[in-house]
Amino acid sequence: MSIFTVASRYAKSLLDLAEEQGQLDAVKGDIEGVVSVLKSNTELLAILKNPIIKGDKKRNILAAIFEGNLNPIILSFFYILVNKGRAAILLDIAQEFVREYNETKGIVKASVTSATALSEANLADLQKIITEEIKAEVILKNTIDPALIGGFVVRVGDRQIDASIAGKLNKLEKHFAAQGV
């Protein structure tokens, strides 16, 4: 069974449990924090993925880091993962939980790449336009790529709108190449 399938099943279980307990939003917030911690701490990830390190040691490490900082549901869930030998995919499960939460709540992630950072007003306007267009709540992230020269590229799901100068120059170059100029 693929890691994605396993991570998806565990994430769905946690999602269902949190919803049943009426703590879905609190658990989601904590899980986002866990994702951040795991992504920024390669040593912790290495420990969780190491099959030589015993489960009780992994549980103690998780308890030392997260106890008192996380919803008890999550910590208990992590202990179950460790007991079942699934600590190596804890990050995958946490990321899948956030994705499934967003899907359940109708939240769509979008990104806008621009040559320079967009102002908060521009981001808010763009977020509003995307929200109205797709009729769903949008989380918009701005990344910077000076190679775009100017303009922006918006990605929502599998759709992309390229309104960058670099994109227009590439289209022009392809047009001239097709014309044999």
pLDDT in tens, 10-33: 999 999 999 999 999 999 999 999
Average pLDDT in the 145-174 region? 88
3-state secondary structure of 140: strand
Q: Are residues 85 and 158 in the same domain?
A: no
Lowest mean pLDDT of 24-28, 33-37, 167-171, name the range.
167-171
Residues 126-153 have pLDDT tens digits of 999 999 988 889 999 999 999 888 889 9
**Of 71, 103, 135, which residue constitutes the final position of a domain?**
103
List of E strands, 19-175: 107-114, 137-144, 152-156, 159-162
**Of 45, 78, 103, which residue constitutes the final position of a domain?**
103
Q: Give the C-alpha separation, 165 to 143, whole Å.
A: 16
pLDDT exceeds cutoff 70 at 55: yes
Q: Are residues 98 and 146 in the same domain?
A: no
Are residues 118 and 148 in contact, defined by beta-carbon separation less than 8 angstroms?
no
Dihedral, CA of residue 33, residue 81, residue 10 and residue 156, to nearest 10: 30
Q: Are residues 27 and 92 in the same domain?
A: yes
Give percent of the chain above pLDDT 70: 99
pTM, two decimal places: 0.76
Q: Are residues 85 and 123 in the same domain?
A: no
Query: For position 46, which CATH number holds?
Result: 1.10.520.20
Q: What is the mean pLDDT of the chain?
A: 92
For the chain, how many structural domains are there in total?
Answer: 2
Q: Are residues 16 and 86 in the same domain?
A: yes
Q: Are residues 97 and 111 in the same domain?
A: no
**Of 103, 120, 143, which residue constitutes the final position of a domain?**
103
pLDDT exceeds cutoff 90 at 51: yes
Q: Are residues 29 and 77 in the same domain?
A: yes
Q: Are residues 110 and 73 in the same domain?
A: no
Predicted pLDDT of residue 52: 95
Closest residue by Cα to residue 142 from 157, 130, 134, 152: 152
Q: Are residues 97 and 37 in the same domain?
A: yes
pLDDT exceeds cutoff 70 at 59: yes
pLDDT exceeds cutoff 90 at 48: yes
Predicted pLDDT of residue 172: 86
Q: Are residues 37 and 99 in the same domain?
A: yes
Radius of gyration of the chain (CA): 21
pLDDT exceeds cutoff 70 at 100: yes
Predicted pLDDT of residue 181: 67
Q: Are residues 49 and 130 in the same domain?
A: no
**Domain of 141, in residue numbers:** 106-179
Q: Are residues 87 and 48 in the same domain?
A: yes
